[in-house]
């Protein structure tokens, strides 16, 4: 009887450890926030979830390519990746000279990023999950009203080659997550679900182009130009695009 009780205690203990952390991932405690496209009536609730502490690296993606030949440069079909896919690779499994193994993986399409995450037993973060984590600086879960926070992001937008740095080059935020800003843009699971032409997702025409100036008129935070830039960028890409400064990281739901 005692041994059975001890077994149950151990299982519960291990479950709590598993809930609190996963290798290479940070636990994000859910909450709510008003996204860029919303008003007070458009509060979004985010559930607890895990997210990778760092963007996926070139070296990690090479391991994926070794196990999944159909996603190699010479095999991938145009429907899933355009001509820029793996452009910084000299062949199917090797980077070009000067490319860092521990730099964030870029030149990767949405389809490829999604498949990579699935092969790890994970998924891409939703747009709301990404924005929720991306609101944080080193000290606060929501730093969007801080001038320093926005200046840092906007200064990064002016650096065209920030992608060829090792992951972890930027600050560790409130959640223990690195490089949400400062290295690369990142794919989200529903990257094309929001074009800021109205007050919510329900009244958006997905076929329209997104322009920062027009978007600002309906924003819940008119001064957060950095966020407008992210939404504009997301609205301009297609799922098979592979872009030099666009990478990704994975997330995982808590069951």
Alpha-carbon distances of 66 from 91, 249, 251, rounded to whole Å = 12, 19, 22
Asked if pLDDT for residue 2 goes beyond 70, the answer is: no
Residue with tokens 């979004």: 44
Residue 11: the pLDDT is 39
What's the pLDDT at 213? Answer: 34
Give 161 or 114, the one with higher predicted confidence. Answer: 114
Buried-state track 129-145, b at ≥16 Cβ within 10 A, e below 16 = bbbbbbbbbeeebebbe
DSSP-derived 3-state class of residue 97: coil
Mean pLDDT of 191-202: 54
Among 76-85, 94-103, 138-147, which is the least confidently predicted range?
138-147
State the Cα–Cα distance between residues 5 and 1, nearest whole angstrom: 6
The predicted-structure confidence for 136-194, as pLDDT tens digits, reads as follows 999 999 998 888 888 888 888 887 688 989 999 999 999 999 999 999 999 999 998 86
How high does pLDDT run on average in the chain? 82
Q: What does the pLDDT average to over 235-242?
A: 94
Q: Is the pLDDT of residue 44 over 50?
A: yes
Output the pLDDT for position 201: 38
Confidence band for 34, pLDDT divided at 50, 70 and 90: confident
Residue 36 and residue 34: Cα distance in Å, rounded?
7
Helix (H) / strand (E) containing 109:
none
């Amino acid at each position: 009887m005692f041994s059975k009780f001890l077994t149950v205690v151990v299982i519960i203990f291990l479950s709590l450890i598993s809930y609190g952390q996963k290798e290479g991932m940070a636990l994000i405690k859910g909450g709510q926030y008003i996204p860029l496209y919303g008003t007070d009536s458009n509060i979004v609730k985010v559930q607890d979830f895990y997210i990778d502490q760092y963007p996926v690296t070139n070296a990690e993606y090479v391991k994926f390519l070794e196990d999944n030949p159909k996603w190699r440069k010479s095999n991938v079909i145009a429907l899933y990746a355009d001509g820029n896919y793996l452009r910084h690779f000299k062949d199917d499994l090797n980077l070009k000279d000067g490319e860092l193994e521990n730099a964030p993986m870029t030149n990767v399409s949405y389809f490829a990023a999604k498949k990579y995450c699935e092969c790890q037993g994970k998924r891409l973060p939703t747009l709301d999950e990404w924005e929720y984590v991306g609101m944080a600086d080193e000290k606060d879960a929501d730093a969007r009203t801080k001038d320093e926070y926005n200046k840092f992001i906007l200064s990064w937008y002016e650096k065209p080659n920030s992608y060829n740095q090792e992951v972890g080059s930027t600050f560790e935020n409130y959640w223990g997550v690195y490089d949400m800003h400062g290295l690369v843009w990142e794919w989200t699971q529903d990257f094309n679900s929001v074009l800021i032409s109205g007050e919510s997702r329900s009244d958006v025409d997905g076929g329209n182009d997104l322009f920062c100036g027009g978007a600002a008129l309906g924003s819940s935070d008119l001064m957060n130009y950095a966020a407008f830039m992210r939404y504009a960028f997301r609205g301009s890409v297609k799922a098979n695009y592979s872009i030099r400064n666009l990478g990704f990281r994975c997330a995982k739901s808590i069951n």
